[in-house]
Amino acid sequence: MGGTQENNPMHGVTLEMIINRLVENYGWEELGERIEINCFNFDPSVKSSLTFLRKTPWARTKVEKLYINMITKDF
């Protein structure tokens, strides 16, 4: 059946799941160093990060790339 998503590491992964995994792995401080955006560096929260990233495609792209790099290193 289709199979078009079986090699897509982002399939079925929400932005909230990505942020939670990145914070779990790096913590807010290191995440803010890796991707210098205010929602990670000043009073960080998942909610504020989701709001910002949903409105800011360039920042979301950076977050998704970091997530993909993180999960591919796990394998």
Q: What pLDDT, on the 0 to 100 scale, is given for residue 12?
A: 85
Q: What pLDDT, on the 0 to 100 scale, is given for residue 3?
A: 55
Q: Are 31 and 40 in contact (CB under 8 A)?
A: yes
Q: Are 56 and 11 in contact (CB under 8 A)?
A: no
Q: How confident is the model over 20-59, as pLDDT tens digits? A: 999 999 999 999 999 999 999 999 999 999 999 999 999 9
Q: What pLDDT, on the 0 to 100 scale, is given for residue 23?
A: 97
Domains of the chain: 15-74 (1.10.720.30)
| pLDDT confidence bin for 8, thresholds 50/70/90 | confident
Q: What pLDDT, on the 0 to 100 scale, is given for residue 4?
A: 60
Q: How far is it, in rounded angstroms, from Cα 3 to Cα 59? A: 29
Query: Closest Cα partner for 45 from 57, 55, 53?
Result: 53
pTM across the whole model: 0.85
